[in-house]
Structure 1
Amino acid sequence: MGTAIGLDLADDLPAATLHELAEETFDWLREVDARFSTYRDDSEVCRLDRGELALAEASADLRAVLERCADLWGATDGYFDAYATGRLDPSGYVKGWSAQVASDRLVAAGAVNHCLNAGGDIRVRGRSSAGRPWRIGVRHPWDAAATCLVLTGTDLAVATSGVYERGHHVIDPRRGEPARGLRSVTVLGADLGVADAYATAAVAMGAAGIGWLDRLPDHLHAVVTDDRRLLHSTNLPLTT
């Protein structure tokens, strides 16, 4: 998936069970990478984009993701656009979606206390091995060794979209140019895939994304602007 994946299983389960659950989780994420990667010529996404694969012949997962991306395009007034770069790239939803699916599967298997971190898209359930709520650091967009916020909770989906690693790579689909104004956007919600897409959409909106996030129901946010302002929802679950 082009990023580091971290998994912390905090349940008091047999070591063999934990190992099996971890392997199943990483097998799933490797499957997602093989199917959705825009860097692998043989992935379903690339084959569909080149016209070598008919949509009707695509996997059920790919068809479901594209349908969800279409819904999110409408929900974001077109700012979340899987074709913003000129080619099919649903990555702004897929990373969060795949981590959410993995977390849901862990809960169903009895691993109700865990933290899954897919390159800054984080799903936590239950408590850490110390019995405390999970602490989630939001990276400082100008200092990779620091955090700008620390969140805490027992059931959080936290997605961050930023330009601090790859530059201004998020495209404003209305102008066809890299969006500017927001350095980092973090969105909290119930579903990590949706939070991931909303964070990407807000970055694409630029400064207007702040007002859009303020009006977004059932989600919280934190934003760092290009001019170094930190703005966030008043009820964000911050560590005190």
Structure 2
Amino acid sequence: MRRVEHIMGFPVSLRIDDTGVPEGLADEVYTWLREADARFSPFRPDSEVSRLDRGELRPEDVSAGLAEVLAIAERYRVATGGAFDVRPPGRRLDPCAVVKGWAVQRAADLLAGAGVRRFCLNAGGDVVVAGGPWRVGVRHPAHADRVCAVLELTDGAVATSGRYERGDHILDARTGRPSTGLLGVTVVAPTLTEADTVATAAFALGPDGVAWAAGQRGCEVYAVDAGHRVRRTPGVPLAVA
């Protein structure tokens, strides 16, 4: 089964290579992702995140889902010494760096919980797979029509943070300025929650973020710095040509 929908501002594709898939399961996956977008988007004035940001919702009254997202964000804020922060000084609350990976991972958990053994869920290039091997391309940071690496995974997640899609949009919250020391950071981790958040946090840290990400439990890192040098950990699962 293959299906694609545009949610959260990017295409989300689902491929299931399995039999006996429960009827309506794909609908459940996409319904959840649309719900997460409606609840946690800072770009929707009626979302829970926007209401909290405006002070219309007390922190103690947020949903369990948003409380979990904010707790993850706080953990990585502390771990990066404040470089990663979903609410930098003088700016609005924007937990997208956590929400995307967290929401897509929960969608993947729905699939696994329903007994699906082999699937690939791709959300704008950030990927969760099960029952591989699956091959995942890492986009070249300077050439949109090329990949700079191909990874091979059986189970797990891959996420990339970079400057090539949205420019210098990732801030080092310690300075309030865009982080420009890296062109792209790809993280392989057991879950997309970890992969996506660690990739963004590492990018915010700049060149020091590669070693920091490599020190996170279960994470492997493939990065390209501002000098176009590749820096990677030994365990990156590069596919054999």
Q: TM-score, normalised by structure 2?
A: 0.92
How far residue 82 of structure 1 moved from its aligned partner, in angstroms, is: 0.9
Matched residues in 1 for 2:43 and 2:36: separation?
13
Partner of 1:118: 123
- Aligned to 2:115, what secondary structure does the other structure show? coil
How far residue 77 of structure 1 moved from its aligned partner, in angstroms, is: 2.3
Please state if 1:22 is matched with 2:37: no
Matched residues in 2 for 1:185 and 1:37: separation?
24
How far residue 216 of structure 1 moved from its aligned partner, in angstroms, is: 3.1
RMSD value, Cα? 1.4
How far residue 65 of structure 1 moved from its aligned partner, in angstroms, is: 1.2
1:146-225 residue pairs with structure 2 within 5 A?
146-225=146-225
Q: TM-score, normalised by structure 1?
A: 0.92
Matched residues in 1 for 2:49 and 2:55: separation?
10
- Aligned to 1:198, what secondary structure does the other structure show? helix
Partner of 2:65: 61
How far residue 201 of structure 1 moved from its aligned partner, in angstroms, is: 1.0
- The residue type equivalent to 1:69 in the other structure is A
How far residue 56 of structure 1 moved from its aligned partner, in angstroms, is: 2.7
Partner of 1:235: 235
- Aligned to 2:152, what secondary structure does the other structure show? strand
How far residue 113 of structure 1 moved from its aligned partner, in angstroms, is: 0.8
Matched residues in 2 for 1:125 and 1:74: separation?
31
Partner of 2:9: 2
Matched residues in 1 for 2:193 and 2:214: separation?
19
- Aligned to 1:4, what secondary structure does the other structure show? strand
Structure 1: gaps of 5 or more residues: 128-132
Matched residues in 2 for 1:27 and 1:39: separation?
19
- Aligned to 1:165, what secondary structure does the other structure show? coil
How far residue 87 of structure 1 moved from its aligned partner, in angstroms, is: 1.3
Query: What percentage of residue pairs aligned between the two structures are identical?
Result: 47
Contact 1:126-1:155 within 8 A present in 2 as well:
yes
- The residue type equivalent to 1:77 in the other structure is G
- The residue type equivalent to 2:81 in the other structure is D
- Aligned to 2:146, what secondary structure does the other structure show? strand
Partner of 1:130: none
Matched residues in 2 for 1:156 and 1:137: separation?
14
How far residue 164 of structure 1 moved from its aligned partner, in angstroms, is: 0.3
Matched residues in 2 for 1:192 and 1:88: separation?
21
Partner of 2:52: 48
Contact 1:80-1:197 within 8 A present in 2 as well:
no
- The residue type equivalent to 1:238 in the other structure is L
Residue deviations 1:134-176 (CA, integer Å, cap 9, x gap): 1101111111111111111210211111110110110011111
Partner of 2:104: 99
- The residue type equivalent to 1:104 in the other structure is D
